[in-house]
Structure 1
Amino acid sequence: MKYLSEINTEGFTIIENVYSDDEIEKIISLIENTTEKKTENTTFRKSQDLFAIRQFHKEIPETLAFIFNKNLKNIIENTFGKGYFITKSIYFDKPEKSNWFVAYHQDLTISVDKKTEIENFENWTVKQNQFAVQPPAAILEKNFTIRIHMDKTTKENGALKVINNSHSKGIFRVENLEIENETICEVEKGGIMIMKPLLFHASNKTTNNERRRVIHIEFSNQQLPDGLDWSEKDSIRN
């Protein structure tokens, strides 16, 4: 429960030294070996500004043994409790000269196994043959995201900017966002950031010619209604 108070109050927390340099290098090696073989995969997105792998834990499951080391498993269990599982994962590689930036937004969609008419599930989309939908806020409010930093991340190479405590206001339009207390979330290599999906967050362009690689994993412990299920659901590795 050490970090839960800050997560509930601010919407996020940063924890350093979760991974050793050796663990990070093993994860990077597995990613690089796989990307060399799967360049045409539909879940891979590559441009001069960004390389991303959607459904990351399914595309490169070998990484999970290193991702869920003793430190991370203890952090999850001691902060949130037992019974959580993966619901979505994305690998982001922001190159050294990237002009890619992301404006302030909330993470409002979840990945599900089919499209069906359910009350308060709206804004359906399909990406890489996978359905996504915006569920009721009550579902999003109970979930959390962990961002694993494979490189030192600073304001110069795209560290997340967040609006502190913006997750507590529910779902609302970015036009109504009041920037009262903004934090740039700089994280050392091997550190993590835990955040709530409804926390408004953004990232700027890279200005220091330094790479930024992050593994983004979303978690839940909830069963969806009316036979709907999480399409990327996977267990936390023991």
Structure 2
Amino acid sequence: MDNIFQPHQEQLSEQGFTIVENIYTEDEVTQILELIVNIDNSKATFRKSADLFAIRQFLKEVPATHSLIFNKNLTQLISQLFGQDFFVVKSIYFDKPETSNWYVPYHQDLTISVDKKLEMENFGPWTVKQNQFAVQPPIEILENIVTIRIHLDDTNGNNGALRVIPKSHTKKIYRPEHIDWSKESETTCNVKQGGLMIMKPLLLHSSSRTTNNQKRRVIHIEFSNIALPTSLQWAEWMKVDI
């Protein structure tokens, strides 16, 4: 089978991100949103505020979405872009409301979600958010992870589309305070409803406040094919049927 995603694979490797349109139809997006609206949101994995609604361990909390999310288009993309041995290690749903003033400064995604806290060499520091353990692992694990962000709304710079610094994922741990703007450039990742932004977690990225009174709802799913040390497990390990 021809790899129709080859250009995206090259861009992801070189730039640290790529945008793929038309993975989901408008009807599929509507069905996913209906399932989210109708779930019990009183659990500890749900975060609710004026600026943000989020569901951690989304694929566990809303399992009815699996067949819609992992449609033929997405499973083909995963197989050709990552490989058939990649599995889910984290999933979050974000709803940035129309009036949100939620601003996220430049950062890298430096932690993974795991099932317990253990004192282990090269793992740390540790955090706990909504009963979920997270830890910064060795850099090799972070470099292996790929994130897919499924956009359920048209997203641009006016409603919080990610802004990224291309190629910053190649610089290991890159502290935001060390960004040299005389050498770096910034790109805004506009994505239409039903499309994807795919990125490496070490890519420096940020998100602005919403200014156009439009929602930004995103399903964030991270993938890896690395097994953690025997005593530690991914919090959300899930095999993808390809």
Answering whether residue 162 of structure 2 is matched by residue 129 of structure 1, we say no
Could you say which residue in structure 1 is the equivalent of 2:12?
Answer: 7
Gaps of 5+ in 1: none
CA distance in 1, matches of 2:117, 2:179: 31
Deviation at 1:187, TM superposition (A): 0.2
Aligned to 2:27: 22
Q: Which residue of 150, 153, 156 maps to 2:152?
A: 150
Do the aligned partners of residues 218 and 142 (structure 1) sit closer, same or farther apart at CA in structure 2, a change above 3 Å counting? Answer: same
Q: Secondary structure at the match of 1:153?
A: coil
Match of 1:213 among 203, 212, 217: 217
CA distance in 2 between partners of 1:75 and 1:178 (Å): 34
Q: Which whole-Å CA distance do the structure 1 matches of 2:95 and 2:20 have between them?
A: 21
1:81 equivalent in alignment to 2:83: yes
Does structure 2 retain, via aligned residues, the 8 Å contact 1:118–1:226?
no
2:225 alignment partner AA: N
Runs of 4+ deviating beyond 2 Å: none
Secondary structure of 1:187's aligned partner = coil
2:65 matched to which residue of 1?
A: 63
**How far apart are 1:232 and its partner, in Å?**
1.0
- Correspondence for 1:33: 38
| 1:160 match | 162
User: Separation in 1 of the partners of 2:22 and 2:172?
Assistant: 32
Deviates more, 1:113-122 or 1:18-27: 113-122
Q: Post-superposition shift, 1:178?
A: 2.4
Q: Unpaired runs of 5+ in structure 2?
A: none
Cα deviation, 1:133-155, whole Å, max 9, x if unaligned, reads 00011111011000000000010
Tell me by how many angstroms 1:237 deviates. Answer: 4.2
Match of 2:48 in 1: 46
The alpha carbon displacement at 1:130 in A equals 2.0
Deviations, residues 40-76 of structure 1 (Å, cap 9, x unaligned): 2111111111111111011001101100000011111
Take 1:69 and 1:224, find their aligned partners in 2: how far apart are those partners? 28
The letter of the residue matching 2:174 is F
Mapped to 1, the partners of 2:134 and 2:141 lie a distance apart of 14
Spell out the pairing of 1:179-194 with structure 2 (5 A cutoff).
Answer: 179=181, 180-194=184-198
TM-score when scaled to structure 2?
Answer: 0.95
Aligned residues: 235
Residue 128 of structure 1 deviates from its aligned partner by 2.0
TM-score of the aligned structures, taking structure 1 as reference length: 0.96
Work out the percentage of aligned pairs sharing the same amino acid. Answer: 59
Moved more, 175-184 or 104-113: 175-184
SS in structure 1 at match of 2:158: helix
Q: What are the superposed Cα offsets for residues 177-229 of structure 1, whole Å, 9 maximum, x if unpaired?
A: 22412100000000000000100000000000011100000011100114211
Tell me, in whole angstroms, the C-alpha distance in 2 between the residues paired with 1:51 and 1:155. 20
User: Could you say which residue in structure 2 is the equivalent of 1:232?
Assistant: 236
For 1:228, the aligned partner's letter is L
Q: What is the identity, as a one-letter code, of the residue corresponding to 2:42?
A: E
Post-superposition CA distance 1:144-177 (Å, at most 9, x none): 0000000000100000000000000001321112
Q: Deviations over 1:92-146 (max 9, x none)?
A: 0011111111000000000111111221101111122221100011111011000
